[in-house]
Amino acid sequence: MNGTRMRVVVVGAGLAGLTAAVDLVNAGAVVTVLEARDRVGGRMHGIPVSSGISADGGAAYLGVRHTELLAQLREYGLGVASTEMAGDSTFLMAGQRTTTPGRVPPLGAVALGDLFDRLDEIVASVRTDAPWLSPDAERLDRISVAQWAADVIDHPDAQTFLPLFLGEMMAADPASISVLHMAFYLSSGGGIRYLNAFEGGAQQWRIDGGSHLLCEALADRLGDRVRLDRPVLAIEQDRDGVTVACGPDSEGISTTYRADRVVVAIPPLLAQQIEFRPGLPEPRATAATGRGCAVKVHLSYPSPIWRDSGLSGWSVSAQGPLLSTVDDSPPDESVGILTGFVTGAAASAFSAMSEAEQREAALAHTRRLFPQLPAPSQCTVTDWLSETYSKGCYAALFGPGDWLRLGPSLIEPHGRVHWAGTETSLEFFGLMEGAIRSGRRVAAEMIAAGISQTDSRKVVSR
């Protein structure tokens, strides 16, 4: 850079973009973060459920293997809250409500064991460093999980459980993802048992106070480098740099920003909507790429009163809308929070309802699950499928053919344009940990590409 400081525009103020921005500023870059929403955080979003208390409307859980996330929490003085739950689980299967001390639904143990054996076999065959180069990758990426299940799963209990499992783990409908994507996702996240576990697993903790606090802390460190209400429409490269064009903000004003390099840290379906000049050699998403099918419902009570009946708040239902619920109450029990998950095909149907219909359907399901509970004081719905600047949650769903088409160019820079976001991480894809690792990767990539070594003083204190 001949002694000058690299100018970088970061598109997206989610966890990946903010992480990259802080690292780049610390390396001496002049950074501007452009965010289309009126808030930071992306798919990490705090939902007010009581006075001074928020629940996680999006990404929420973490475990001991999420080392980069834990390090950031320590750096910003944030803590974790245990997800440990005491009491019986509730199940609603074939219209029948049962409770049991365990968390395994009342389905055939042999059938579920056989299902997990088959899943383990496929997961073990996939290369997480390059899924598209896995043995039999072409066949595994060609067929959907629904097709695979129809061919290899005979027992009705296993057929019932698979979509519930994939909905909880991936927010996916088996018909919308390839077998290769399922196997990669489960392997990338640490394996089936780690991803599925609370104690000792990927769901061991929540960020105390809400995961959005981490993004707000990162944004506070960046200060006025973060510009909200800046939807990016076009990115044009020339011999001397890059021009980033933003569409009209809430006041109808369009803006442009000039930079040496750009980090695009938004979901693939959003990146695909940006006009790139010159055009991308490979797309960021295809017609097969789907939205993460997740809707979260938060039910608020004066306290976790289900515990008085010996219940944990954990439930699983074979039919929607609330395919599972979990106790997300704060450690001081100052309010009771039941979080319901609407995922997979049920999420698509739920998202098509009006707000009033969504609320009534969620409350009716809750009455069937927990008939001893009074009506909640508040019911909030966070519908990620309808979020313009997310296009789904937890992460994009790679459909048949996507990994072979998109995988090789997933992190390959397009000239001066670099890529971040949890969907670009081959480690912990779809998780907060994956987002942070992608931000760290892209910042290191750009630092190596040209930030001046003669002006690398740290602008942001660590």
Chosen domain end from 145, 168, 195: 195
Question: What CA–CA distance (Å, rounded) separates 309 from 291?
Answer: 38
pLDDT digits 0-9 by tens, 383-417: 999 999 999 999 999 999 999 999 999 999 999 99
By residue range, what is the domain housing residue 273?
7-42+212-280+414-450
Question: What CA–CA distance (Å, rounded) separates 359 from 127?
Answer: 42
What are the distances in angstroms from CA 21 to CA 32, 194, 226? 8, 31, 9
The answer to whether residue 345 scores a pLDDT higher than 60 is yes
In a domain, 161, yes or no: yes
Furthest CA-CA distance within the chain: 71
Helix axes 109-124, 179-188, angle to 10 degrees: 90
Chosen domain end from 148, 164, 195: 195
Chosen domain end from 195, 224, 243: 195
| Residue 451's pLDDT band (cuts 50, 70, 90) | low
The answer to whether residue 455 scores a pLDDT higher than 70 is no
Question: What CA–CA distance (Å, rounded) separates 461 from 28?
Answer: 12
pLDDT the model gives residue 461: 34
C-beta separation of 134 from 403 below 8 A: no
Mark out the alpha helices in 125-152 (DSSP H runs): 137-142, 145-152
Is residue 178 located within the same domain as residue 114?
Answer: yes
In a domain, 345, yes or no: no
In a domain, 339, yes or no: no
In a domain, 294, yes or no: no
Is residue 222 located within the same domain as residue 170?
Answer: no
Question: What CA–CA distance (Å, rounded) separates 210 from 423?
Answer: 22
Residue 138: count of CB within 10 angstroms of its CB: 13
Q: What is the average pLDDT score of the chain?
A: 94
C-alpha 407, offset from chain centre? 19
Amino acid symbol at 130 = A
CATH number, domain at 425?
Answer: 3.50.50.60
C-beta separation of 296 from 451 below 8 A: no
CATH number, domain at 167?
Answer: 1.10.405.10
Is residue 216 located within the same domain as residue 186?
Answer: no
What are the distances in angstroms from CA 52 to CA 47, 210, 335? 10, 11, 11
Question: What CA–CA distance (Å, rounded) separates 393 from 412?
Answer: 24
The mean pLDDT of 2-20, rounded to a whole number, is: 91
How many domains does the chain contain in total?
A: 2
In DSSP terms, 61 is beta-bridged to 206
- What is the percentage of the chain residues whose pLDDT exceeds 70? 97
- What is the percentage of the chain residues whose pLDDT exceeds 90? 92
Residue 216: count of CB within 10 angstroms of its CB: 17
CA atoms within 13 A of residue 165's CA, in its CB half-sphere:
23
Is residue 276 located within the same domain as residue 423?
Answer: yes
| Six token digits for residue 243 | 């021009």
Positive or negative torsion for Cα 379, 362, 396, 136: positive
In a domain, 328, yes or no: no
In DSSP terms, 342 is beta-bridged to 295
Question: What CA–CA distance (Å, rounded) separates 158 from 109?
Answer: 9
pLDDT the model gives residue 3: 56
Contacts of residue 402, Cβ cutoff 8 Å, sequence gap at least 6: 141, 178, 181, 285, 286, 288, 289
The answer to whether residue 14 scores a pLDDT higher than 70 is yes
pLDDT digits 0-9 by tens, 69-79: 999 999 999 99
Is residue 110 located within the same domain as residue 191?
Answer: yes
C-alpha 203, offset from chain centre? 13
pLDDT digits 0-9 by tens, 24-43: 999 999 999 999 999 999 99
pLDDT the model gives residue 379: 96
Is residue 140 located within the same domain as residue 182?
Answer: yes
Is residue 144 located within the same domain as residue 189?
Answer: yes
In a domain, 228, yes or no: yes
Question: What CA–CA distance (Å, rounded) separates 128 from 437?
Answer: 15
In a domain, 291, yes or no: no
Is residue 217 located within the same domain as residue 182?
Answer: no
The mean pLDDT of 193-197, rounded to a whole number, is: 91
Is residue 116 located within the same domain as residue 166?
Answer: yes
Is residue 31 located within the same domain as residue 177?
Answer: no
Is residue 220 located within the same domain as residue 276?
Answer: yes
The answer to whether residue 165 scores a pLDDT higher than 50 is yes
| Six token digits for residue 210 | 């809400």
The mean pLDDT of 262-273, rounded to a whole number, is: 97
In a domain, 268, yes or no: yes
The mean pLDDT of 10-23, rounded to a whole number, is: 98
Contacts of residue 117, Cβ cutoff 8 Å, sequence gap at least 6: none
- Beta-strand (E) ranges in 150-190? none
Is residue 274 located within the same domain as residue 420?
Answer: yes
C-beta separation of 50 from 334 below 8 A: yes
